[in-house]
């Protein structure tokens, strides 16, 4: 397909400043600020009721904010009528005119703008070709499939050559296969047009696959904004960590305490060596991605039973054995030869690792992969890996995780605590002067 539209150097960046909307006592959107750069594909992601549609409609001019501003380029459009904004909105319901043909539905905004008939026909033909709707131009919406209707709604937005596209869950009425195909088409369209897209969804797969940046909303507030990789790899909060991933990040309650000059995060059957130093004990939430967990196996390749597994490189030396509240048995410091290193899923010799001990409660077959659900000290933990993961319900297991894949969050605020393990001596990040856990997590600024 050829490039049909260019913006001719127009600046279509959108800036939102302190945008707020209340409906009576409901705080639908609270003090959200963000920059959406020209050409961004920004996805507003979050659970039902978190304020996505309200935020998008304020950008579109369909709802007035209670406070805050919306700027398009340098122009304050906070109170400009929707029709003057040069933004095209695609709704979840498509909102097609049932009595109009596909051709007239797509051309509607141009007729409303009183463009010459010849130009309208030409633009409609171009857009229909681009969206593979040419053969359907004479049909009415009720004679179309859901996917075709979705493309007509998209065509009606495209034909205007707007400065930006605003889309509210446009794929949610499509079946899974068509959704996947349309996702790819939308990404390709964005790539071709290089227009600004603001796209609302509660589907993390849509967000991760299409977005150049993702803004995660929770309870009307912005939790984090960043590239898909940034929000997945460095979630700024427990909410973001628990929203992304399938299954999402395991979140475990633990306590950081000092023992023999070393800080550790620990809970029943969980032990994570952190760094040398001392600090007041504090409650944290430990985050571990299911795909980062590895099974420690014995020489035969079976999962090492929880009461014998203790790879040399994770065994705590006797003098720093687990703090009292971890209830780790004495064999934590088992000799190196008690665990064979036959298993490539738990490589030997690298940095120290987190250790978890528990029991497998079930295994789910996802086709190419499996998820093993375990119980670790009464807390559920998912492990995901290529099928077969080699675990069965009832197996006693020891799991490990590299320290640089351990996420820590403040239990009270839920915000990320930045820290950086090094091979020989883990130390907190960004706190060179105090060597303490940062009071203000580095990732808190969104």
Ligand X SMILES: Nc1ncnc2c1ncn2[C@@H]1O[C@H](COP(=O)(O)OP(=O)(O)OP(=O)(O)O)[C@@H](O)[C@H]1O
Residue numbers at the binding site for Mg ion (CB under 5 A): 53
Q: Which residues in the 178-237 window bind ligand X by CB under 6 A?
A: 202
| Sole residue written with tokens 């088992």 | 334
We find the least distance from the C-beta atom of residue 154 to ligand X, in angstroms, to be 19
Contacts (CB under 6 A) with ligand X, residues 364-423: none
Residue (53 or 148) nearer to Mg ion, CB: 53
Burial state string for 279-302 with b = 16 or more CB within 10 A and e = fewer than 16? beeeebbbbbbbbbbbbbbbeeee
- The structure tokens listed for 405 are 């894949």
Q: How many residues contact ligand X, by CB under 6 A? A: 12
The residue nearest Mg ion at its CB is: 53
Toward Mg ion, which CB reaches closer, 53 or 224?
Answer: 53
Which of 1, 11, 26, 113 binds ligand X (CB under 6 A)? It is 26
E strands, 81-237, in order: 87-90, 164-168, 196-201, 213-218, 221-226
Report the C-alpha gap between 52 and 203 in whole angstroms: 12
**Rounded least distance, CB 27 to Mg ion, Å:** 16
Minimum CB distance to ligand X smaller for 202 or for 357:
202
- Partner whose footprint covers residue 50, from Mg ion, ligand X, none (CB < 5 to 8 Å by kind): ligand X
Provide the minimum distance between the beta carbon of 170 and Mg ion in the complex, in angstroms, as a whole number: 12
Question: Which secondary structure element, helix H or strand E, spans residue 127, and what is its range?
Answer: helix 117-130
Q: Which is nearer to ligand X, 54 or 285 (CB)?
A: 54
Q: How far is the CB of 108 from ligand X (least distance, A)?
A: 25
| Beta bridge partner(s), residue 407 | 287
> Which of Mg ion, ligand X, none lies near 28, with the C-beta cut-off 5 to 8 A by kind?
ligand X
Sequence-distant (≥ 6) Cβ neighbours of residue 248 within 8 angstroms: 241, 242
Task: Provide the minimum distance between the beta carbon of 176 and ligand X in the complex, in angstroms, as a whole number.
Answer: 18
Nearer to ligand X, 218 or 339 (CB): 218
In angstroms, give the least distance from the CB of 229 to ligand X.
Answer: 24
Binders of ligand X in range 39-68 (CB under 6 A): 46, 48-54
CB 256 within 8 A of CB 282: yes
Please choose, out of 20-28, 244-252, 375-383, 427-435, the segment that lies near ligand X by the rule CB under 6 A: 20-28
Q: How far apart are CA 218 and CA 240, in angstroms?
A: 9
Binding range to ligand X, per CB under 6 A, among 22-30, 229-237, 274-282, 372-380: 22-30
How many contiguous H segments (helices) and E segments (strands) does the chain have?
Answer: 8, 23
Among ligand X, Mg ion, none, residue 344 binds (CB under 5-8 Å by kind): none
Integer angstrom CA distances of residue 225 from 23, 162, 214, 228, 235:
25, 24, 6, 9, 10
Tell me how crowded residue 168 is: count the other CB atoms within 10 A of its CB: 20
Residue 123 contacts which entry, ligand X, Mg ion, none (Cβ below 5-8 A, type-dependent): none
Among 406, 403, 423, 279, which residue's Cα sits nearest to residue 353?
A: 403
Of the pair 53, 268, the CB lying nearest ligand X is at 53
Rounded distance between C-alpha atoms, residue 76 and residue 259, angstroms: 57
Nearest residue (CB) to ligand X, 215 versus 389? 215
- Record the tokens describing residue 233, joined without a space: 């790899």
Q: Both tokens of residue 89?
A: 């909105």
Between CA 419 and CA 274 the distance in angstroms is: 9
374: which strand partners?
A: 360, 381
In the bound state with Mg ion, the residue whose beta carbon lies nearer, of 56 and 309, is: 56
Residue placing its CB nearer to ligand X in the complex, 24 or 432 = 24
| Nearer residue to ligand X within complex by CB, 50 or 372 | 50
Sequence-distant (6+) residues with CB within 8 A of 206 are 43, 171, 179, 183, 199
**Residue 26 interacting partner from ligand X, Mg ion, none (CB closer than 5 to 8 Å by kind):** ligand X
Q: How far is the CB of 413 from ligand X (least distance, A)?
A: 23
Residue 54 partner contact from Mg ion, ligand X, none using kind-dependent CB cut-offs of 5 to 8 Å: ligand X
215, 225 Cβ separation under 8 angstroms: yes
What is the closest distance, in whole angstroms, from the C-beta atom of residue 216 to Mg ion in the complex?
15
Minimum separation from the CB atom of position 214 to Mg ion (A): 16
**CA angle, corner 121, sides to 117 and 123, nearest 5?**
115
Q: Return all residues near 139 (Cβ < 8 A) that are at least 6 apart.
A: 101, 102
- Binding residues vs ligand X (CB under 6 A): 23, 26, 28, 46, 48-54, 202
């Amino acid at each position: 397909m050829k490039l049909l539209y260019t913006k001719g150097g127009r600046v279509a960046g959108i800036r939102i400043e302190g945008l707020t909307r209340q409906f009576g006592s409901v705080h639908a959107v609270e003090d959200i600020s963000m920059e959406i750069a020209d050409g961004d594909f920004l996805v507003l992601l979050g659970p039902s009721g978190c304020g996505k549609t309200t935020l998008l409609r304020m950008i579109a001019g369909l709802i007035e904010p209670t406070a805050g501003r919306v700027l398009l380029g340098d122009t304050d459009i906070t109170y400009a009528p929707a029709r003057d904004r040069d933004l095209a909105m695609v709704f979840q319901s498509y909102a097609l005119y049932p009595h109009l043909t596909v051709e007239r539905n797509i051309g509607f905004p141009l007729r409303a703008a009183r463009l010459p008939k010849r130009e309208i026909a030409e633009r409609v033909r171009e857009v229909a070709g681009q969206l593979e709707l040419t053969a359907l131009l004479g049909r009415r919406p009720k004679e179309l499939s859901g996917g075709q209707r979705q493309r007509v709604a998209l065509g009606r937005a495209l034909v205007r050559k707007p400065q930006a596209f605003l889309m509210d869950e446009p794929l949610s009425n499509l079946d899974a296969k068509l959704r996947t195909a349309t996702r790819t088409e939308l990404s390709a369209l964005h790539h071709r047009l290089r227009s600004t897209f603001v796209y609302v969804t509660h589907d993390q797969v849509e967000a991760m696959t299409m977005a150049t940046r993702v803004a995660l909303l929770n309870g009307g507030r912005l939790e984090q904004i960043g590239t898909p990789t940034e929000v997945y790899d460095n979630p700024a909060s427990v909410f973001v960590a628990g929203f992304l991933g399938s299954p999402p990040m395991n979140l475990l309650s633990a306590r950081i305490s000092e023992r023999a000059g070393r800080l550790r995060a620990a809970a029943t059957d969980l032990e994570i060596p952190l760094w040398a130093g001392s600090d007041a004990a504090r409650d944290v939430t430990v985050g571990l991605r299911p795909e980062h967990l590895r099974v420690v196996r014995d020489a035969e390749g079976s999962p090492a039973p929880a009461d014998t597994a203790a790879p040399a490189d994770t065994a705590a030396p006797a003098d720093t054995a687990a703090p009292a509240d971890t209830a780790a048995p004495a064999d934590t410091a088992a000799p190196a030869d008690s665990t064979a290193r036959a298993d490539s899923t738990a490589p030997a010799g690298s940095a120290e690792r987190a250790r978890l001990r528990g029991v497998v409660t079930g295994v789910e077959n996802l086709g190419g992969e499996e998820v093993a659900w375990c119980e670790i000290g009464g807390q559920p933990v998912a492990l995901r890996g290529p099928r077969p993961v080699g675990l069965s319900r009832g197996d006693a297991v020891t799991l490990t995780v590299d320290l640089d894949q351990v996420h820590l969050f403040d239990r009270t605020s839920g915000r990320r605590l930045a820290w950086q393990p090094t091979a020989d001596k883990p130390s907190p990040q960004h706190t060179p002067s105090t060597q303490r856990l940062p009071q203000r997590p580095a990732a808190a600024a969104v």
